[in-house]
Amino acid sequence: MEAAGCFEAHEVDLHGHRAVYRVAGSGPTVVLIHGMVNSSRHWRVVAERLAGSYRVVAPDLIGHGDSATPRGDHSLGAHAASIRDLLTTIGVERATIVGHSLGGGVAMQFFYQFPQRTERLALVSSGGLGREVSPLLRGAALPGASPLLRLATRRRLVDALDAVAGRLSARGARQGAYFEAVARALRPLQDAGSRRAFLQTLRSVIDVHGQHVSATDRLYLLGDMATLIVWGERDRTIPIEHGRAAHAAIPRCRFESLPRAAHFPHLEDPGGLADVLADFLATTAPVHIHDSDWAAVIAQQAKNRLRAVA
């Protein structure tokens, strides 16, 4: 574990497995959920910016970062349930849930499974809002990708990618950010357990045709939820059009784009992302959903569909 500091790491036992999370600040709780090949560490700048007014909790998803890498269920629902169990363990009843990429899918699943625990929802370059995704991720989901991934994560190759990224960025070439992102993604996969967890997680949401898990049929459930969608304008991993379409479908939704960011706004423009999140938190009220409210929303949607068919 790290030494005490503004974004201190903690460890708990969840169902016999090590679960690591980082905490900063005090106040109402904001949960930051990372995406694939990221970890809680990557939220540091955003967390420190929000820590003046909020208690920020950033978990390492099971199979990622410093958490355990067991064989088992790495689906969105399993990750959402693990976050629920972590929050219960540390005494958090309700929180604003923020998710990036895969973490956006986990954040939506958390809301669908545990609406009573969700006060606001923020999705950052989120998965689960459309089929299209980068060819690199579709290729990694192929059945024979495991040995190729093992070769691609060799230290010498990753170091070479980092060097290329540095030279391109020094010349002001945009491709530098792309090579940097690839190297950053490959480096944590040098461990066999992390590679296995990555592939299990990836294949739970992506196949050769693209994203096969979609939340678009349930966006109506966000009708009363304060929702924010943020996207990097240079994103080539998941199209920004997914975010714009979801924004149009969600009644109480804000949409913000970040010109300096690609697919990783919390790393490419953490200050800009933190400012957008801080404004969203300061200008919206937390929502408290009860079981009766949830039942009424689902029942009304069923009636609307019957009317549409009739």
Residues that are catalytic: 101, 235, 263
CA angle 32, 23, 35 (to 5 degrees): 30
The helix (run of H) or strand (run of E) holding residue 206 is strand 206-207
Q: What is the largest CA-CA distance in the chain?
A: 64
Which residue has tokens 């219960």?
Answer: 88
Amino acid at 301: Q
Report yes or no: 221 and 300 within 8 Å, Cβ to Cβ. Answer: no
> What CA–CA distance (Å, rounded) separates 269 from 192?
31
| The dihedral formed by the CA atoms of 257, 259, 260 and 265, expressed in degrees to the nearest 10 | 10
Report yes or no: 246 and 221 within 8 Å, Cβ to Cβ. Answer: no
> What CA–CA distance (Å, rounded) separates 268 from 276?
14
Amino acid at 189: L
- Candidates 231, 300, 302, 299; CA nearest to 266 is 231
> What CA–CA distance (Å, rounded) separates 41 from 18?
16
> What CA–CA distance (Å, rounded) separates 181 from 186?
9
Q: CA distances (Å), 46 to each of 34, 37, 204, 222, 255, in order?
A: 12, 18, 28, 25, 18
